[in-house]
Amino acid sequence: MTATICGTGSYIPSYTMDNHDIAGLVETSDEWIRERTGVVRRHIARDETTVSMAAEAARRALADAGTAPEEVDLILVSTISSNVVLPCAACEVQKELGAVNATCFDLSAACTGFVLAYNTAFAYLTSGVYRTALVIGSESLSNLTNWKDRGTCILFGDGAGAAVLRADAAKEPDDESEAGMAEELPGVGRKNYLPVTHSDGGKGAALTCKSRHDFNSLNGGSRQASNETMLDDTHYMQMDGQAVFKFAVKKVPEVIGEALVLNRMKPDEISYYILHQANKRIVEAVAKRLGEPMEKFPMNLQEYGNTSSASIPILLDEMNRDGRLKPGQKLVMAGFGAGLTWGAAIVEWRGCSG
Ligand code: UT7
* pLDDT (0 to 100) of residue 215: 47
Atom of ligand 1 nearest to the CA of 26: 48
Predicted local distance difference test score (pLDDT) of residue 319: 98
Question: Domain residue spans in the chain?
Answer: 2-168, 194-203+237-348
CATH code of the domain made up of 194-203+237-348: 3.40.47.10
* β-sheet bridge partners, residue 178: none
Please give the Cα distance from 317 to 127 (Å, whole number): 26
Cis peptide before 340 (omega within 30 of 0): yes
Predicted pLDDT of residue 329: 96
The number of the ligand 1 atom at minimal distance from the alpha carbon of 37 is 15
What's the rounded Cα separation, in Å, for the pair 236 and 212? 9
Low-confidence ranges of the chain (pLDDT < 70): 169-190, 212-232, 351-354
Helix spans in 2-140 (H): 19-23, 30-37, 50-65, 89-97, 113-126
Q: Is 209 noted as a catalytic residue in this protein?
A: no
Q: How far is the CA of 241 from the centre of ligand 1 (A)?
A: 6
Catalytic residue among 19, 83, 119, 306: 306
HSE-up of 1 (CA within 13 Å, CB side)?
Answer: 14
Q: Calculate how far, in angstroms, residue 207's C-alpha sits from the geometric centre of ligand 1.
A: 14
Residue 229: per-residue pLDDT: 56
* Active-site residue identified among 91, 104, 111, 352: 111
Query: 269-325: per-residue pLDDT in tens?
Result: 999 999 999 999 999 999 999 999 999 999 999 999 999 999 999 999 999 999 999
Q: What are the φ and ψ backbone dihedral angles of 103, each rounded to 5 degrees?
A: -95, 135
Model pTM score: 0.92
What is the 242 CA–ligand 1 centroid distance (Å)? 7
For ligand 1, the distance from its centroid to the CA atom of residue 32, given in whole angstroms, is 9
Spacing, Cα 154 to ligand 1 middle (Å): 9
pLDDT for the residue 351: 61
Rounded distance between C-alpha atoms, residue 106 and residue 342, angstroms: 18
Residues having CB within 6 Å of any atom of ligand 1 = 28, 32, 36-37, 111, 150-151, 154, 207, 241-242, 244-245, 248, 278-279, 282, 306, 337
Span 312-323, pLDDT tens digits: 999 999 999 999
Report which protein residue has its CA nearest ligand 1's atom 48.
150
Q: What pLDDT, on the 0 to 100 scale, is given for residue 231?
A: 58
- For position 233, what pLDDT does the model report? 77
Is 83 a residue of the active site?
no
Q: Is the dihedral of CA 114, 117, 119, 121 positive or negative?
A: negative
Burial degree of 260 (CB within 10 A; 0-12, 13-18, 19+): buried
Q: Is 306 a catalytic residue?
A: yes
Annotated catalytic residue within 276, 279, 320, 352: 276
Tell me if domain 2-168 and domain 194-203+237-348 are identical in fold: yes
- Architecture category of domain 2-168 in CATH: 3-Layer(aba) Sandwich (3.40)
CA distance 299 to 283: 8
Atom 46 of ligand 1, nearest CA residue? 28
Question: In angstroms, rounded to a whole number, what is the distance separating the alpha carbons of residues 235 and 11?
Answer: 26
Give the Å distance between the CA of 234 and the centre of ligand 1: 19
pLDDT for residue 144: 94
Nearest residue (CA) to ligand 1, atom 29 = 151
pLDDT at residue 23 in the model: 98
Which amino acid appears at position 255 of this protein?
V
Residue owning the nearest CA to atom 16 of ligand 1: 241
